[in-house]
Amino acid sequence: MTPFLSSRAVKAALIGVAVIGFSTLARADIRDYEFRLVDQTIKAGPDKTIAVRLVNKATGKPVADAVIFASRLDMTPDGMQEMATPLTPISGAEPGTYRFKANVSMAGHWQLSLDAKVQGETGTVENKLVIQADK
């Protein structure tokens, strides 16, 4: 084999390895992430803590350092979407756990709506979770 052909073969092999390597480094799709409630039920009352985990569904691992930019807690599941309460973010106990304080004024089904950005990903994680508040 001539040095010219040998050089071309090496370049082709390196390009092939690079293409295969980059395809395995492709980022996850934003739909691979979801919020999950830590507890499905809470007691109604003032200053209740609601905790969620943001996880990568493909790996099951928690996702830390997401930026939650929209949150809402209301009684949409019980047909009372106007019955909303403010959420106050508080520090999470573990990486990938996000906690909020809220005044859960009555028993029933409350919908927690969250929008977040995952670092290094394009798009927005959007979830609506239903929490049961008991007396």
What is the tally of structural domains in the chain? 1
pTM of the model: 0.78
Q: What's the CATH code of the domain at 67?
A: 2.60.40.10
In a domain, 121, yes or no: yes
pLDDT at 99: 97
pLDDT, tens digit, for every residue of 55-80?
999 999 999 999 999 999 999 999 99
In a domain, 21, yes or no: no
In a domain, 15, yes or no: no
8 A C-beta contact, residue 51 and residue 129: no
In a domain, 2, yes or no: no
CA 81 to chain centre: 23
Domain holding 86, by residue range, is 30-134
In a domain, 8, yes or no: no
In a domain, 50, yes or no: yes
8 A C-beta contact, residue 30 and residue 125: yes
